[in-house]
């Protein structure tokens, strides 16, 4: 019971963090058809900007400045770089963002070193939210989840309840028609790209203070975020929310379970045989928790290639 509740809480907060990053990615893809490989780099950049700023001006300034900086960089990328390769097709846009991701990672290594930096949450947030089963549950985890929920509500209200939201959704569905009706679609695209990058930057600034901040964090999270969008269906916000929570929960439960194929076969009396084989058979679930998302992705691909919420392509 204790394990289940703690794992569920951890899984949901991690899932919400994944959603913060994947939402921007899926929004940008749905709208422009650009798969932004540099998206997770904005997440890392957000953490590093927040680290650099917060070491001088304090934590909260860092958390506010980071999304602004990453958002502006995102807009610059959309405005000045992507149009140059647009005529060569989506593959080249993907490759360009891939190159940018590489450059951002190397620049971070250049300025901050190829090792984790000491980016910490402020003492005012370092307390336990509640006491459960003889252990303190850190408030900051709930804070990360809370930021994600607030962000989402705001984004959702913006998209569904405001005039701007209608224009954005129109630009997503039929860009040419929306432009013919007199809306400045390139501007809309730029702001959506900037918002997506800013959201990733915010996620990095908030999560970097809790999880390790190092030059690999972008890639590590990026791969999982890609899995999220494949599982959820690219372009679908609801799908990525579902997939984020699913992967968050799966990963956090897997860490604490010592299940293995040998144990499973033991139920039908084949345990000894499986143990004698070793290798894959005796691998415990906890030691392969990093593998779970990929396995989930392969299963989804087999059963429902378009993703949980994606439209068939």
The residue ranges that bind other proteins (CB under 8 A) are 29, 35, 81, 84-85, 88, 90-92, 94-96, 98-100, 102-103, 106-107, 110-113, 219, 223, 226-227, 229-230, 234, 278-280, 283, 287-288, 290-291, 293-295, 297-298, 301-302, 305, 313
Burial 161-200 (b: 16+ CB within 10 A, else e): eeeeeebbebbbeebeebeeeebebeebbbbbbbbbbbbb
Q: Decide whether 183 or 275 has the Cβ nearer to other proteins.
A: 275
Question: Least distance in Å: CB of 143 to other proteins?
Answer: 29
Question: Least distance in Å: CB of 128 to other proteins?
Answer: 32
Q: Which two tokens mark 247?
A: 């992967």
Q: Decide whether 40 or 209 has the Cβ nearer to other proteins.
A: 40
* HSE (side-chain half, CA atoms, 13 Å) at 170: 18
Q: Decide whether 98 or 152 has the Cβ nearer to other proteins.
A: 98
Helix-strand-coil percent breakdown of the chain, rounded to 5?
A: 75, 5, 20
Q: Decide whether 147 or 224 has the Cβ nearer to other proteins.
A: 224
- What does the alpha-carbon distance between residue 34 and residue 197 come to, in Å, rounded to a whole number? 13
With left for phi above 0 and alpha for psi between -120 and 50, is residue 279 left, alpha or beta? left
Q: Decide whether 95 or 249 has the Cβ nearer to other proteins.
A: 95
Question: Least distance in Å: CB of 181 to other proteins?
Answer: 29
Question: Least distance in Å: CB of 239 to other proteins?
Answer: 13
Question: Least distance in Å: CB of 142 to other proteins?
Answer: 28
Residue with tokens 């963090």: 17
- H helices present in 162-184, as ranges: 163-173, 175-180
Looking at the DSSP bridge assignments, the partners of residue 135 are: 132
Q: Decide whether 269 or 279 has the Cβ nearer to other proteins.
A: 279
Q: Decide whether 134 or 279 has the Cβ nearer to other proteins.
A: 279
Question: Least distance in Å: CB of 253 to other proteins?
Answer: 17
Burial 246-262 (b: 16+ CB within 10 A, else e): bbbbbbbbbeeeeebbb
In 3D space, the residue among 188, 186, 219, 229 whose CA is nearest the CA of residue 26 turns out to be: 229
Question: Least distance in Å: CB of 98 to other proteins?
Answer: 7
């Amino acid at each position: 019971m204790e394990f289940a509740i703690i794992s569920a809480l951890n899984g949901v907060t991690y899932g919400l963090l994944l959603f913060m990053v994947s939402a921007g990615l899926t929004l940008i893809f749905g709208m422009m058809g650009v798969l932004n490989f540099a998206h997770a780099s904005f997440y890392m950049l957000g953490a590093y900007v927040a680290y650099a700023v917060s070491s001088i001006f304090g934590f909260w300034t860092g958390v506010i400045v980071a999304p602004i900086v990453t958002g502006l960089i995102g807009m610059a990328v959309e405005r000045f770089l992507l149009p140059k390769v647009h005529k060569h097709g989506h593959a080249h846009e993907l490759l360009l963002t891939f190159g940018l991701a590489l450059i951002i990672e190397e620049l971070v290594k250049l300025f901050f070193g190829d090792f984790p930096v000491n980016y910490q949450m402020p003492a005012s947030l370092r307390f336990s939210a509640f006491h459960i089963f003889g252990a303190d549950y850190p408030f900051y985890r709930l804070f990360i989840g809370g930021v994600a929920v607030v962000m989402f509500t705001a984004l959702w209200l913006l998209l569904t309840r405001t005039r701007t939201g209608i224009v954005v959704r129109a630009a997503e569905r039929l860009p040419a028609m929306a432009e013919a009706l007199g809306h400045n679609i390139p501007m809309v695209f730029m702001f959506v790209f900037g918002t997506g990058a800013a959201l990733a930057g915010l996620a990095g600034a908030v999560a970097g203070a809790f999880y390790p901040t190092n030059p690999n964090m972008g890639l590590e999270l990026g791969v999982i975020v890609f899995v999220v969008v494949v599982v959820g269906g690219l372009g679908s916000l609801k799908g990525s929310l579902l997939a984020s929570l699913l992967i968050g929960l799966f990963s956090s439960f897997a860490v604490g379970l010592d299940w293995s194929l040998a144990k499973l076969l033991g139920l039908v009396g084949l345990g000894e045989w499986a143990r004698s084989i070793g290798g894959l058979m005796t691998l415990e679930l906890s030691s392969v928790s990093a593998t779970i998302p990929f396995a989930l992705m392969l299963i989804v691909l087999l059963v429902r290639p378009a993703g949980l919420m994606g439209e068939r392509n």
